Amino acid sequence: MDFDLSEEQRLLKDSVDGLLADSYDFEQRKKYAAEKGGWSKAVWNKLAEQGLLGLPFSEEDGGFGAGAIETMIVMEAMGKALVVEPYLATVVLGGGFLRRGGSAEQKAAYIPSIIDGSKTLAFAQLEKNSRYDLGDVSTTAKKKGDGWVIDGEKFVVLNGDTADTLIVTARTKGGQRDRNGIGLFLVPADAKGVTIKGYPTQDGLHAADITFAGVVVGADAAIGDPENALPLIEQVVDDARIAMCAEAVGAMDESLKSTVEYLKTRTQFGVAIGTFQTLQHRAADMFVALEQARSMSMFATMAGDFTDAKERASAVAAAKVQIGKSLKFVGQQSIQLHGGVGMTMEFKIGHYFKRLTMIENTFGDTDYHLRRVSEQGGLI
């Protein structure tokens, strides 16, 4: 048992924190978000230069062979700075599918361009009626010659409006909610029949609704088994949930810090409002919520590589429950304790609240994951 970071992990943390401290304050973030596509290519290139885009990939694929802890470190730092660049969509999700399920050819074709920052990815999964069920897929992929023809609609595809390549879930056989018969396909964003309607999201990121109408791809487009990709999807989505837990911890950490700072400096009735016990105790409860979330983020990070998929899923679901509860409390109370300025777009605290809120509703909210844990018979 050891909660300390290794020397290399500490260096990584220092370098990510340093990079973001230099180039990612709240004003700079606004500028990046205002760039075409909603994020900064220059920042992305810096992340590539520091090797952050190549972290989780194996050395033979040109990466650094780093593990879940390194991703946790990076995501927590990104949560603190509210980074808008598509790290989750490209490195964690897109990269996750390729490194965990891709063929040697697919890895060679896509991973180097992720690592050098030249290409980004997006995971097109959500459908009108699928909600949080990853096995609920109506989009179809029908065999045609050696390849496939994809038809269907996907919604709120994170980074869907700027990605070069989409990774699409589509049904190759069976009914809408069958666990079997789901495939995973690499589709160029500019393929014929792909229509992308992009938009900004509530939390300052970008997403897209995407229509696939008779989109033809080759046999080499399928990642893993085109008739049984759900286990891979579940694993990589768990990776994304774990990463978002760390991101949320970073965002909560910064929210609490900012709130405590405000309590110390804002005066009312001639004293700092931080001298009021009712506010002190609220802040203490926020600290408790944050630390409980941090513990579960670590737990989920360790669970990411469990070989037993059920055990992994339970642990990650439990973490998402704790993070969901904590982020709601910390997020809402951060606004409350900031008072009126917390409601304004120009003050940063509201932006943390919005990102935290969207994290809860991505890949399963608190109730959804609580049900999953309880259906597994709990943790004890």
> Which residues make up the interface to other proteins (CB under 8 A)?
1-6, 9, 69, 260, 263-264, 274-275, 277, 280-281, 283-285, 287-288, 291-293, 295-296, 298-299, 301-302, 318, 321-322, 370-371, 373-375, 378-380
Nearest approach in angstroms of CB 367 to other proteins is: 8
> Nearest CA to 364 among 93, 126, 133, 76?
133
State which residue, 159 or 326, has the beta carbon closest to other proteins.
326
State which residue, 104 or 380, has the beta carbon closest to other proteins.
380
Confirm if 170 and 210 have CB atoms less than 8 A apart.
no
Nearest approach in angstroms of CB 186 to other proteins is: 34
Nearest approach in angstroms of CB 374 to other proteins is: 4
Nearest approach in angstroms of CB 351 to other proteins is: 22
- List, in order, residues 6 or more apart from 112 with CB less than 8 Å away: 61, 62
DSSP string, 5-42: PPHHHHHHHHHHHHHHHHH--HHHHHHHHHSGGGS-HH
State which residue, 340 or 378, has the beta carbon closest to other proteins.
378
State which residue, 166 or 256, has the beta carbon closest to other proteins.
256
Nearest approach in angstroms of CB 267 to other proteins is: 14
Name the helix (H) or strand (E) containing 199.
strand 194-200
Structure tokens, 199: 């938009």
State which residue, 151 or 365, has the beta carbon closest to other proteins.
365
C-alpha to C-alpha distance for 97 and 102, rounded to whole angstroms: 7
Nearest approach in angstroms of CB 305 to other proteins is: 11
Indicate left, alpha or beta for 193 from its phi (over 0: left) and psi (-120 to 50: alpha): left
Indicate left, alpha or beta for 13 from its phi (over 0: left) and psi (-120 to 50: alpha): alpha
Nearest 5 degrees, angle CA 373-CA 379-CA 380? 145
Nearest approach in angstroms of CB 272 to other proteins is: 8
- List, in order, residues 6 or more apart from 239 with CB less than 8 Å away: 68, 71, 92, 93, 96, 304
Confirm if 206 and 198 have CB atoms less than 8 A apart.
yes
State which residue, 101 or 324, has the beta carbon closest to other proteins.
324
State which residue, 59 or 375, has the beta carbon closest to other proteins.
375
State which residue, 43 or 318, has the beta carbon closest to other proteins.
318
C-alpha to C-alpha distance for 330 and 23, rounded to whole angstroms: 26
* CA–CA distances in Å: residue 359 to residues 15, 17, 148, 158, 356: 25, 21, 33, 12, 5
Structure tokens, 290: 């944050």
State which residue, 242 or 321, has the beta carbon closest to other proteins.
321
Nearest approach in angstroms of CB 7 to other proteins is: 12
Confirm if 301 and 294 have CB atoms less than 8 A apart.
no
Nearest approach in angstroms of CB 310 to other proteins is: 15
Cα 211 to the chain's mean position, in Å?
23
Three-class secondary structure of residue 337 per DSSP: helix
